[in-house]
Structure 1
Amino acid sequence: MHQFLTIIGIILIGMALRSCRRRIFRKLGALTYLLSTGLVTYFLTGGNIPLSIATIFIWFFLPWIELISRVRKMRLPLENTLNEQRRPQLDDFPEAYQTISELESLNYEHSSDYGWDWGNSTQHYSFYWHPEERIVVAVCLCKQSNIAFSYVTISSRDSDGNIYRTSNFPFSPTLKNTPNVAWNQIACRHCSLDSSLRCHQKFIQKKGGSLESLMMPDPETLDSEVESDMQEQIRFNLKSGIITPAEDQKFRYSFRGLCYLWRQFIKDMIRLS
């Protein structure tokens, strides 16, 4: 009974920490859950410390269940084309309406709406641009099974062919970025669009870019730029061995690619905990 109450007490402490607003306490709560897992094994095995530690690390290998059972069988198109679409109902996407309203208040002009199917998800892009800031903002609306969410990707290009992107996409990228793309992932919560735009400009300067050398966006070619960037990214990942060609002009993840995705899963587990 003493051992059982000890485990219950640790779990309750973890629940209390996970309910805190500060990230450091939420991370401590996640560590507390790991500790409780090790303690269960410790008590059941009569004090086997190596096995208890091994049990804790099993959590980090759980993503392999999905990688082997689902991702390994996925076949994604080598070439994908954006199709012009009407904007879907914003009521289905959290915070999308607020983001678009803030964009309009900051004098960003709406350019176009496009979408495509990517794997098991449907993605819609509403493009906005600002000629003076030389920035393109894509409000991305995603539907996957019964899950719907929105995020923002802020992009700038300079005259040397470098691309700077800032995004609050809640997960790590599933493909490696090409060498000319600088990726800045910011928190998806407690961050206004205005502060995200300022963060984007600071990120460009941090990477050695110049705001004066940014190219003026062309609203007529935003969709073709996204398609071209995706094609270049796929070619780069093919060359890197992350993905490999499959039948019917599609690709699949190689074993090296599955290991890459596993590392991305672990990064998300640590970052989002």
Structure 2
Amino acid sequence: MHESLTVIGIILIGMALRSCRRRIFRKIGALVYLLASGTVVYFISGNIPLSIASIFVWFFLPWIELGTRVRKLRLPLENHLNEERSPRLQQFPEAAHNIDELETLDFEHSSDYSWDWAGSAQHYSFFWHPEERTVVTVCLCKQTNVAFSYVTISSRACDGKIYRTSNFPFSSTLKNSPAVAWNQIACRHCSLEQSLESHKHFIKKKGGSFDNLMMPDPDILNEEVENDMRVQIRHNLDTGIITITDNGKFRYSFRGLCFLWKQFIKDMIRLS
């Protein structure tokens, strides 16, 4: 009973910390859960090194999916956006809020496109603001029973540099091309207006200037996304993250699987 009550007590402490508002306490709560799993192994085996090793096993669990589903993925080298009507937003309340805020900030809706990527249906609603020289994309994602939305803010400089700010909740599954400067912000950013301020500050931090930004062309926003994806795929081919298959598609190399594993670990730490 003593061992069981000890484990239950540790788990309850972890639950209490995970329910806190401050992020640091939630992260400590995740570590307490790991401690609970190590304690269980120690009580069963009486072996301290084994109990410590069991904690680190959690960080290698992503290899189960990497070695089964991801390793078998075959993705197209060329992917084209299809124009479609804006979907209903009942499943995406955060997206509806963002669109309302964009209209308040005088952003103009340009177009709606979608494509399928790695088994995920992705819809893009493009908004642009000529004075801000900025494009905001409200992205809706559906994969099996999971649905979520995020926002990406983009500005393009005359020298080819692309500045992006996004609250995409996961790390990128491909390396960004050298021309892209990526600014990751919290999933639950206070407001879109604050996200835009963060984007402007990020451009200045990277040595860019507003005067050097290009005016967006609302008629070719989908073509820019397609071209950016081609450039990114080409960069990942050059760096060995992906390789071309016999049927003209690409798959992740072993180096690419290791890259994805590091991205999984970053998400585990960041989202905990």
- Deviation track 1:32-67 (CA, whole Å, cap 9, x = no partner) reads 001111111111112x22111100000000000111
Contact 1:109/1:129, CA 8 A, preserved across alignment: yes
Report Cα offsets for 1:173-207 as digits up to 9, x if no partner.
00000011001111111421110000000011111
Cα RMSD after superposing both structures: 0.8
Q: Deviations over 1:90-110 (max 9, x none)?
A: 112231110000000000000
2:247 aligned with 1:239: no
Q: In 1, Cα distance between the equivalents of 2:69 and 2:29?
A: 30
Amino acid at match of 1:266: I
2:212 equivalent to 1:213: yes
| TM-score of the aligned structures, taking structure 2 as reference length | 0.98
Q: Which residue of 2 aligns with 1:92?
A: 91
Question: Counterpart in 2 of 1:40?
Answer: 40
Query: 1:172 and 1:211 mapped to 2: Cα distance?
Result: 28
**1:114-152, CA deviations, whole angstroms, 9 ceiling, x for partnerless residues?**
111111101110000000010000000111011111100
Cα distance in 1, alignment partners of residues 6 and 146 from structure 2: 37
Give the match for residue 193 of structure 1. 192
Equivalent residue pairs, number: 272
How far did residue 247 of structure 1 move?
3.2
| Match in the other structure for 1:76 | 75
Aligned partners of 2:255, 2:40: CA distance in 1, in Å? Answer: 34
Distance in 2 separating the partners of 1:249 and 1:112: 30
Q: Which residue does the alignment assign to 1:272?
A: 271
Amino acid at match of 1:23: R
Which letter maps to 1:213? N
Residue type of the partner of 2:121?
T
- Equivalent residue number for residue 63 of structure 1: 62
Give 3-state SS (helix, strand or coil) of 1:221's partner.
helix
Distance 2:50 2:119 in 1: 38
1:164 counterpart letter in structure 2: Y
- Secondary structure at 1:90 match in 2: coil
For 2:93 and 2:22, the matched residues in 1 are separated by: 22
- Please tell me the residue identity of whatever aligns with 2:40: V
Aligned to 1:5: 5
Structure 1 gap ranges (5+): none
Residues 189 and 195 in structure 2, CA contact (< 8 A), matched pair in contact too: no
Deviations, residues 70-103 of structure 1 (Å, cap 9, x unaligned): 0001111000011111111111223111000000
Q: Percent identity?
A: 74
Describe how 1:170-189 pairs up with structure 2 within 5 A: 170-189=169-188
* Distance across 2 between alignment mates of 1:243 and 1:6: 47
Counterpart CA distance in 1 for 2:100 and 2:59 is: 40
SS of 2:6's equivalent in the other structure is: helix
- Gap regions ≥5 residues in structure 2: none
Partner of 1:202: 201
